[in-house]
Amino acid sequence: MSTFNRVAIVGGTHGNEFSGIYLLKKWEQSLGTISRPSFETETLFANPNAFRDNKRYLDCDLNRQFVPADLANPELANYEQSRAKAINLQLGPKGDARTDLVIDLHNTTSNMGPTLILLKNDAFNTQLAAYVAERMDNAVILFEDHCSMEEHYFLCSIAEQGIIIEVGPQSQSVVRQDVLEWMETMTLHILDFVELYNNGDVPPLPDTVSAYRYVETLKLPEDENGERIGMVHKNVQDADFKPLIKGDPIYTLFDGTEILWQGDYEAYPHFINEAAYYDNNLAMSLGKKVDIQVIK
């Protein structure tokens, strides 16, 4: 069992997702809240200039800049690309990071509740999923373990273990008390679990945990010029993690035509109509509901 010596909590990767930013400000005034005896905890405000300008990002999405080839490319030098390189030096470097675990705090405009996104299906992550699910009745567990940590372009993939807390619905550039409290509660549960894991004191856990696994991302209907010609169907809007089966309406074109889901599996939409994805016309992600084996 690997021991976690350094944990980094990151907020403000996107400058207009405020919950993580204001939690960092709160915790920096009372570091005892996030300190644990067996490991060091540090905080990082990832994109302060985007927060200053009340934008998701200035030049490009910071949370898509952490592929090793991009980090090593000096020609990629706009603001977010430069921030990625600086963050990689501070927390990493990726592949040989001094930080053992990165917890990256995010908000979504989608109705996803408190969602824990895990990038690996191993003993630590499956036990963490079961631990959090037992302590938060409304927690949603989402595995995005479709590629290796090296291939992931997320900020949290700098470390050997990386976690994303994604909580919504929350409009950009506002703070909601319920969303902030869910994010704080989930973060503290994770820190508690790491302490237990380090000390070999993880309590008995179930053999499986109910979760979702990412499958694909869908785009909004477009014409041949890439212009939107429709929107997410009203029956799907705000129905994150509700089942979608073949024949259910998924889009409505602006002329009133309904487009039906033609997939060959029962899908669970999430990130539905996420406002941050305006620049690439993404409609939603789809996952499958799964029972994950808790590796002990």
* pLDDT for position 16: 98
* pLDDT for position 1: 56
* pLDDT for position 12: 98
Backbone angles phi, psi at 220, to 5 degrees: -70, 155
Which long-range contacts (C-beta less than 8 Å, at least 24 apart) are formed by 273-279?
A: 273/109, 273/110, 273/231, 273/232, 273/237, 274/108, 274/109, 274/110, 275/109, 275/171, 275/172, 276/14, 276/56, 276/108, 276/109, 276/172
pLDDT means per 10 residues in the chain (296 residues)? 90 98 97 96 98 98 97 97 98 97 98 98 98 98 90 95 98 98 98 97 98 97 94 98 97 98 97 93 97 97
pTM for this predicted structure: 0.96
* pLDDT for position 7: 98
Q: Could you tell me the two tokens for 279?
A: 């620049």
Maximal C-alpha separation, the chain: 61
Return the DSSP state at 174: -
Report the alpha-carbon distance of residue 38 to residue 20 in Å, rounded: 24
Decide: 244 and 261 in contact? Cβ < 8 Å: yes
Q: Could you tell me the two tokens for 130?
A: 């079961």
Query: Residues 6 or more apart from 272 whose CB is under 8 A from it?
Result: 110, 111, 232, 236, 237, 238, 239, 240, 283, 284
* pLDDT for position 278: 84
Between the two ends of the chain, the Cα-to-Cα distance in Å is: 10
Name the nearest CA neighbour of 79 among 111, 53, 99, 106: 53
Report the alpha-carbon distance of residue 129 to residue 141 in Å, rounded: 7
Q: Could you tell me the two tokens for 9?
A: 């909590």
